[in-house]
Structure formats: C-alpha cells, structure tokens
Amino acid sequence: MDDIKDLVSLMTLLKKGNRELKLTLSISSFVPKAQTPFQWEKRADIKILQEKSDYLKKELMKNNVAFKPTSLKWDFIQAILSRGDRRLSHLLEKVYEYNGSLGSWGRSYKEIIQEDKYNIPNMEWYGLRERAYDEILPWEFIYTGMDKNSLKNDRESSSKYKN
C-alpha cells in the first residue's frame, strides 16, 4: 500500500507541475507468467486488488488525473491461462462454445464441475497460489534458453528489494 500511496503522490506532483497536460495512469495487476522468475509467485486475491484500484481511482480523481486499470477479472483469467495445465483443455473448449466472454468462464467451469469427470482444480488453484520450487510445472519440458535454476536465482535476487 505504501507503493500505491507513493504512486498517487508522484502523479499528483506531475499534474501540479503540468496542469495543461491530460495525465493518465494506466495499470494492470500482477500476473505470474510461466517461464519467468515470477512463475512461482502468489497472485493477490481480487478483493485486495479491487481495494487498491478503488483507492487509486478515488485519490487520482481528486487531482484530475485519469485512471485506466485493466480488468481484474481478465487479469485473473490470464493468470489461469499462463499457469494452467492439460486439465484446462475441456474448460477452454467449453469457454469457446460460449464465445469466450468473461461470463463464459464461470458458466463453463460450473458445467464442467457438475459433469465431475475431468478432475479440474478450482480456478484459484491455478491463478492465485504460490508454487513450491519442487513442484513439477506443466511447461518445464519446454526449453526456452533459461533453466529452472537461473529462474530461481533471478527470483531470489529480486526478492532482496521486497519489504
């Protein structure tokens, strides 16, 4: 939250120094991606992210700074897709049948779970949880030029900057 407050302060300072400019802050929430040092990271719960987004919107409006966040729900879907495995294939087919809208994800997931034949974990399991280093990740067999140890080292060195 301190970083978010600092961001508001920075945007306010920029706007006060440049009143004639239309200043816009565009943000997206963190989405852990496969084959990156952050593939093991936890994603914040949507309620926490929404509170932070609401705070930014309220504070930036006071200073006439436009605010354009990405959709937190679509960011969550990105997290599911970026760290999913083969068990999602039936869900993806069902989402496609319903034209791929945001609403089709919940509807498709409910239908798949009711069928009870595909053994799909809940979407939070894919999209939110922190992964252990010893967990076998579905994309590990793909070599992209960075081995697992290099990714782990990069993650650990970046955590030096966390509070």
Distance between CA atoms of 14 and 23, rounded to whole angstroms? 8
- Per-residue confidence (pLDDT) for residue 162, from 0 to 100: 61
Q: Which residue has the tokens 């945001």?
A: 102
Residue 163, pLDDT score: 53
Output the pLDDT for position 160: 66
Give the three-state DSSP class for 24: strand
Task: Please state the pTM of the whole predicted model.
Answer: 0.88
Tally of domains in the chain: 1
> Contact 124/19 with Cβ under 8 angstroms?
no
Cα–Cα dist 148/152, whole Å? 6
Domain that holds residue 21: 2-161
State pLDDT tens for residues 70-81: 999 999 999 999
pLDDT for res 117: 83
Contact 52, 1 (CB under 8 A): yes
pLDDT value of residue 50: 97
Q: What is the mean pLDDT of each run of 10 residues along the chain (163 residues)?
A: 95 93 95 95 96 97 95 96 94 95 94 89 94 94 90 88 57
